[in-house]
Chain A
Amino acid sequence: MSILTYREALNQAMCEEMRRDETIVLMGEEVGFYQGAYKVSKGMLEEFGPMRVLDTPITELGFTGLGVGAAMVGLRPIVEMMTFNFAILALDQIVNSAAKMLYMSGGQFPVPMVIRGPGGAAHQLAAQHSQALEAWFCYVPGLKVVMPSTPADAKGLLKTSIRDDNPVVFIESEVLYGTRGEVPEGEYLIPLGVADIKRQGSDVTLVAHSRMVFLALEAAADLAKEGIEAEVIDPRTLRPLDTETLVQSVKKTNRAVIVEEGWPFCGVGAQIVDTLQSLAFDYLDAPILRVTGADVPTPYAKNLEHLAFPDKQRVREAVNKVLYRQPANGDKS
């Protein structure tokens, strides 16, 4: 085990896989000579050469289509989006080509490709460059959607995603690139569709992915001081979703709060609520609550931006509500 940053863990996953399988190629804007806009592909052009690490023009629809075609004829491309805000430009290729090709060709053309890059809100990047778009991809049958929160998960899930024969949308977190953690060396694979219980607890289930996992953990630590033990579950893969782990947790705690950065309407949490109410109805002691981003374009102004995303206090308030509990500090009796 060594301590790596999230960024290094992703780099290690890609390099190990490319050494193992020469059909894997990486393409995207600035992935080669510039070493990646966020330095995730550092050293890869040098090691694997320009035939396997390709700098592309600024044309997301074009190079994503190139990736789909390459996957159809036997390569395993990794297509990097500089950020997922630009994946909007490539949606036709992702939704209409990558996700549907296996189906439309009667099983003749699998599309083993990974579309990866950072997503989620960052600091003061404003409405067009600071948003959580994972729900868009989760919506599409034929895509798998993966969002790691820790360096170890980043490595284990990316390696598995590269080996998967389906198109995988792999959304990293820009603000987590510099975070560090223990990462197992070598062959470390985490199956897709398996959630991770980041903290055990018995009183309430907090479901959070990507950066929100850490918010949920901080809130859980505070709640523990008041005697509330929150279980924090990171689905890691949003599609396919590990419903079994979520349902088992709610059967134990009888209540759930979902924390997500994205917008509330038709968001990822809405899907999780549906899953829990249908599979754990008789175990729920309170309505499931969501703490989400505000239903607005992300503001640029720092103070407004802060208000637009979940924070610890809002998570605590939601937990108090599902526990039918008065907040401890306001309780004078």
Chain B
Amino acid sequence: MMVKVLMPKGSDTMTEGKVLKWVKKEGDPVSTGETVVEIETDKVDMEVEAMGGGVLRKILVQSGKVVPVGELLGVIAKPDEDISSLLKGGGAVGAQPPAGSPVQAPAPAPAGVALVPPSAGPAPAAPSPATGGSRQAVMGVAKPSAPEPTNGGRVLASPLARRMAQEMGLDLNRIAGSGPAGRIVRQDVERAALLAVGTRSARVAEAEGAGVHPPAPAPTLPRRPAPAPTGREFYDEPLSSMRKAIAIRLVQSKAPVPHFYLTIEVDMGRAKELRESAKALNPDLDLSYNDLILKACAAALELHPQVNASFQGEAIRYYRRIHLGVAVAVEEGGLITPVIRHCEGKSLQEISREAKDLIARARSRKLNPDEYTGATFTVSNLGMMGIEEFSAVINPPEGAILAVGTVAEKPVVVKGRIEVGLRCRMTLSCDHRVVDGATGAKFLQTLKQILENPVYLAF
């Protein structure tokens, strides 16, 4: 029995992944469930387990290479088994996705891999398996020399997906389906519509030759950079998976979402007192300003559900739950937004504890995909970097994002006299299709009131 090791689909947005390291070498015995290879997705690093036992007979994609989701990475089989039927499709192995066509027709799935639905992302040429809808699904057991099933040239799509594709003017032949037997479902059409926007803009940016600078760590005073080596006047650094995901998602946001921005200044004096008294009460209770702002956002969103909403094309979706995204910078560059779920029912302490855990694991890229998807509102905080105020780009399909600046002492005028105040400036970016100016302003007013009277959070 031959078992394929495939590039798994680690998240909805993942179309390709990088082989980081083979844990097993060719010839190593492998049992079911053992880790065979480590890969890097657009968001996290993950381990790929063997779905069946045998010997790792062949490694087809070496460490460091980027291949599309569903690509055959290696073959596990009995030591003496003929694996040539799987290796025949070698022409496609390691192939890069053709530029500008991230969505292609699904390749027919080989028999015996009924659980392997094709999905977004370039499908390798037959007889490589089609791309998978999930980690569980992508590793199939192939029957050698089984005849290729076909759908008689017919595209399988749910009735809804068919109607949506027609309305959006998308060609079903160019959309890969993630449902059973490659059925194109709503999610696939929506993703194809987004990708169509994202790649177009990404290519424009590429054509303009935007250079990418190496990260500049600046712990204290930035050191003068070493003189540039002689030779070419620039260098190109290939995009990491995460950087690509960031590029696509932010263009998806900024181009079609009409942003507008509202800024407010909040007196953080009482928030500071609250932090200090909490700590005095229990030294383990180390609340950050960010924790307080998250909790206050949850409370303000409960009062202004219009801001906890999403533009859905034909409708505005108002969420009954408050799932807060927290934008976190990842150590080696990039960012990720872990989600604290159900903040509507959580205490300040619970939110603080969860935020600390998620942020720590986000920095080391140890989040599960379900921990960084599904936010209804996001908070991005650059205060610790000394940024006074900034405007954030909305993370679609959310309707708004709050950008938090530094909490700093500054002169303020109180009753005609200048005093020292503790202030923080916050900017709300709103999707104008969902949130109007006055609606956003009222939300900010409430947020300010709560942070300036944090005793509210005790009730």
CB-based A-B contact count at 8 angstroms: 56
B159 touches A333 (CB 8 A): no
Number of interface residues of A (CB under 8 A): 19
Known contacts A282-B159, A285-B186, A286-B185, A227 near B341 by CB under 8 Å: yes
A136 touches B (CB below 8 Å): no
- Find chain B residues with CB under 8 A from A286 CB: 158, 179, 185
Number of interface residues of B (CB under 8 A): 30
Beta-carbon nearest neighbor of B374 in chain A = A227
B159 touches A281 (CB 8 A): yes
A283 touches B159 (CB 8 A): yes
A331 touches B (CB below 8 Å): yes
Cβ distance A146 to chain B, nearest Cβ, rounded Å: 31
B321 touches A (CB below 8 Å): yes
B321 touches A285 (CB 8 A): no
B13 touches A (CB below 8 Å): no
Q: Considering the chains assembled together, what is the distance between the CA atoms of A281 and B157 in angstroms?
A: 12
Q: Considering the chains assembled together, what is the distance between the CA atoms of A261 and B185 in angstroms?
A: 30
B133 touches A324 (CB 8 A): yes
Known contacts A227-B374, A324-B178, A328-B370, A283 near B134 by CB under 8 Å: no
B159 touches A324 (CB 8 A): no
- Find chain A residues with CB under 8 A from B323 CB: 227
A284 touches B (CB below 8 Å): yes
B161 in complex: contacting residue of A224, A227, A285, A330, CB < 8 Å: A285
Q: Considering the chains assembled together, what is the distance between the CA atoms of A283 and B321 in angstroms?
A: 25
Known contacts A227-B321, A326-B136, A333-B10, A284 near B160 by CB under 8 Å: yes
A229 touches B (CB below 8 Å): yes
- Find chain A residues with CB under 8 A from B10 CB: 333
Beta-carbon nearest neighbor of A321 in chain B = B180
A324 in complex: contacting residue of B163, B185, B368, CB < 8 Å: B185
Beta-carbon nearest neighbor of B184 in chain A = A285
Q: Mark B175-193, 1 if CB is under 8 A from A, else 0.
A: 0001110000111000000
Task: List B7-28 residues whose CB lies under 8 Å from chain A.
Answer: 8, 10
B185 in complex: contacting residue of A225, A282, A285, A328, CB < 8 Å: A285
A202 touches B (CB below 8 Å): yes
B432 touches A (CB below 8 Å): no
- Find chain A residues with CB under 8 A from B187 CB: 324
- Find chain B residues with CB under 8 A from A202 CB: 317
Q: Mark A78-93, 1 if CB is under 8 A from B, else 0.
A: 0000000000000000
Beta-carbon nearest neighbor of A252 in chain B = B315
B46 touches A (CB below 8 Å): yes
Beta-carbon nearest neighbor of A225 in chain B = B342
Beta-carbon nearest neighbor of B161 in chain A = A285
- Find chain B residues with CB under 8 A from A282 CB: 159-160, 162-163
Q: Considering the chains assembled together, what is the distance between the CA atoms of A281 and B178 in angstroms?
A: 20
A173 touches B (CB below 8 Å): no
Cβ distance B316 to chain A, nearest Cβ, rounded Å: 12
Give the one of B46, B323, B369, B370 with max A CB within 10 A: B370
Q: Considering the chains assembled together, what is the distance between the CA atoms of A326 and B369 in angstroms?
A: 12
- Find chain B residues with CB under 8 A from A326 CB: 134, 136-137
- Find chain A residues with CB under 8 A from B279 CB: none
B135 touches A (CB below 8 Å): yes
A332 touches B135 (CB 8 A): yes
Q: Considering the chains assembled together, what is the distance between the CA atoms of A333 and B8 in angstroms?
A: 10
B320 touches A (CB below 8 Å): yes
Task: List B307-324 residues whose CB lies under 8 Å from chain A.
Answer: 317, 320-321, 323
Cβ distance B343 to chain A, nearest Cβ, rounded Å: 13
Task: List A244-295 residues whose CB lies under 8 Å from chain B.
Answer: 254, 281-286
Q: Considering the chains assembled together, what is the distance between the CA atoms of A285 and B374 in angstroms?
A: 20
A254 touches B186 (CB 8 A): yes
A229 touches B161 (CB 8 A): no
Q: Considering the chains assembled together, what is the distance between the CA atoms of A202 and B309 in angstroms?
A: 13
- Find chain A residues with CB under 8 A from B46 CB: 333
Known contacts A324-B179, A324-B185, A284 near B374 by CB under 8 Å: no
A284 touches B158 (CB 8 A): yes
B369 touches A333 (CB 8 A): yes
Cβ distance A327 to chain B, nearest Cβ, rounded Å: 10
Beta-carbon nearest neighbor of B157 in chain A = A285
Known contacts A282-B163, A324-B178, A331 near B370 by CB under 8 Å: yes
Q: Considering the chains assembled together, what is the distance between the CA atoms of A249 and B108 in angstroms?
A: 34
Q: Considering the chains assembled together, what is the distance between the CA atoms of A199 and B178 in angstroms?
A: 29
Q: Considering the chains assembled together, what is the distance between the CA atoms of A326 and B368 in angstroms?
A: 14
Q: Considering the chains assembled together, what is the distance between the CA atoms of A210 and B370 in angstroms?
A: 35
Cβ distance A147 to chain B, nearest Cβ, rounded Å: 29
- Find chain A residues with CB under 8 A from B180 CB: 324
- Find chain A residues with CB under 8 A from B178 CB: 324
Q: Considering the chains assembled together, what is the distance between the CA atoms of A283 and B163 in angstroms?
A: 8
Q: Mark B144-188, 1 if CB is under 8 A from A, else 0.
A: 000000000000001111110000000000000011100001110
- Find chain A residues with CB under 8 A from B342 CB: 225
Q: Considering the chains assembled together, what is the distance between the CA atoms of A284 and B163 in angstroms?
A: 10
Q: Considering the chains assembled together, what is the distance between the CA atoms of A330 and B368 in angstroms?
A: 12
- Find chain A residues with CB under 8 A from B159 CB: 281-285
Q: Mark B31-48, 1 if CB is under 8 A from A, else 0.
A: 000000000000000100
Task: List A218-254 residues whose CB lies under 8 Å from chain B.
Answer: 224-225, 227, 229, 254
Ordered by A's residue number, 25 sampled pairs between the chains whose C-beta atoms are within 8 Å are: A202-B317, A225-B342, A227-B321, A227-B341, A227-B374, A254-B186, A282-B160, A283-B159, A283-B163, A284-B160, A285-B160, A286-B179, A324-B133, A324-B178, A324-B187, A326-B134, A328-B370, A330-B136, A331-B135, A331-B368, A332-B135, A332-B368, A333-B8, A333-B136, A333-B368
When A and B form their complex, which 3 residue pairs have the shortest distance between CB atoms, in order from nearest? A333-B135, A285-B160, A285-B186
- Other than A282-B159, A285-B158, A285-B186, give 8 A-B pairs with Cβ distance below 8 A: A225-B342, A227-B323, A281-B159, A324-B178, A324-B180, A328-B370, A333-B8, A333-B134
Chain A positions near chain B (C-beta within 8 angstroms):
202, 224-225, 227, 229, 254, 281-286, 324, 326, 328, 330-333
